[in-house]
Amino acid sequence: MATVSADRKERIAALDYDYAAQPKQPLTSCNLCGGSQFVILAHRDRYRYPAQTHACRRCGLVFLNPRMTAEAYGRFYEGIYRPLVSAFHGRLIDARTIQAEQREYAVERAEFIRPFIRSFTPKTMLDIGGSTGVVAAHFAQEFGLDGTVIDPAPLEVEHAQRLGLETIADLVEQHDFGTRRFDVVIICQTVDHLLDVSGTLARVRQLLSDNGLLFIDIVDFRAAYLRNWSVEDAIKIDHPYYLTERTMIAYLRSSGFDVLRSDYAADHLHVSYVCRLGMADVKAMSSAASVEEMLREVRFVQNAPHRM
Ligand SMILES: [Zn+2]
């Protein structure tokens, strides 16, 4: 075990990525509830970069703070992200190798969404952060949809184009869709990577047709730190946000979505939601009591003797 982590440390050091020197911005208001009182949960991430993780005292949202600017994240995704994840796991992970995993995921998630697709006849689909398009291509084929992928990584979008999907190399918050609407919007393994979850959900609300469906999933932060029995090991600079069932439901309700069904994936780490447009419920935030409960649990995990 000690050898494995020493090797990992060396592999990450060999990338020579200076996280501390990257331009960052401090966040002064919570992206979910607008609150301004935060608690620091961790000072390092799983790569041992000096990244601080905060939790909002009012709603329990967990996020990196300060966090890299959009430009710094752009450079991170261009050259560091996949090599860093590869160094962490000790095997090559790139746009090609992730496709087998994405295919398996696509098959599983298509079954989850199928009953809702049957209840109306959707024609168009937008995949936000759709990467190489594997998931979008599977959904498009299964459900007879015209698929569009929007993703800021040009190399990954190229793969998606080869699968016969319409592709847009841009950020969803920036792109001008004009009057276009989509019957299905999917945000797969992406929400934790966004810089503005509220802004993206507001955008989705405009882009979805009246009877449209939103499919979105999270890595459950609680499951991640309980699984590793470590808060730091559940943090990675690739994820500006750490959502839980409570905070994701609060995001969806306050952004005007009704959650039709939620589901734990087979790995128990990802939670998926199927949603429809509803009335925005601005009071849908977590209670202060539930925030205290999470903070107590985090302190308990941090103070426990470290397991090898
Ligand atoms: Zn908050």
124-128 vs 146-150, strand pairing mode: parallel
For tokens 């925005």, the residue is 280
For residue 29, report the distance from its CA to the centre of ligand 1, in Å.
8
Query: Average pLDDT, stretch 79-99?
Result: 89
Q: Which residue has the higher pLDDT, 77 or 283?
A: 77
DSSP 8-state secondary structure symbol assigned to residue 90 = T
- Please give the model's pTM, rounded to 2 decimal places: 0.92
> Looking at residues 28-46, what average pLDDT do you find?
96
Contact 303/278 with Cβ under 8 angstroms? no
Any alpha helices (H) in the chain, and if so which ranges? 2-14, 70-75, 81-89, 98-118, 134-143, 154-162, 197-207, 221-228, 245-254, 288-303
Residue closest to 277 by CA, chosen among 222, 200, 194, 206: 206
Q: How many angstroms is it from 126 CA to the middle of ligand 1? A: 29
CA of 65 to the centre of ligand 1 (A): 13
Residue-wise pLDDT tens digits, 105-160: 899 999 999 999 988 899 999 999 988 899 999 999 999 999 999 998 887 888 89
- Position 286 scores a pLDDT of 60
User: Do the Cβ atoms of 244 and 294 come closer than 8 Å?
Assistant: yes
Q: Which carries the bigger pLDDT value, residue 267 or residue 39?
A: 39
How sure is the predictor about 308, in pLDDT bands with cuts at 50, 70 and 90?
A: very low
- C-alpha 221 to ligand 1 mean position (Å): 16
pLDDT reported for residue 152? 83
Average pLDDT, the chain: 91
Residue 293 Cα to ligand 1 middle (Å): 15
Mean pLDDT within 238-266: 93
Ligand 1 centroid–CA 58 distance in Å is 5
Percent of the chain at pLDDT > 90 equals: 71
CA of 34 to the centre of ligand 1 (A): 6
Return residues with CB closer than 5 A to ligand 1 (ion): 30, 32-33, 35, 56, 58-59, 61
Q: What distance, in Å, lies between the first and last C-alpha atoms of the chain?
A: 7
- Max mean pLDDT range (112-126, 272-286, 294-308): 112-126
Q: Which is more confidently placed, 285 or 86?
A: 86
pLDDT, residue 1, reads: 47
- Average pLDDT rounded to a whole number, residues 4-24: 93
Read off the pLDDT of residues 181-230 as tens digits, 9 standing for 90 and up. 999 999 999 999 999 999 999 999 999 999 999 999 999 999 999 988 99
Phi first, then psi: give them for residue 127, nearest 5 degrees: -105, 110
Ligand 1: distance of its center to the CA of 69 in Å? 21
**Position 238: which residue type?**
D
Q: What is the pLDDT of residue 294?
A: 86
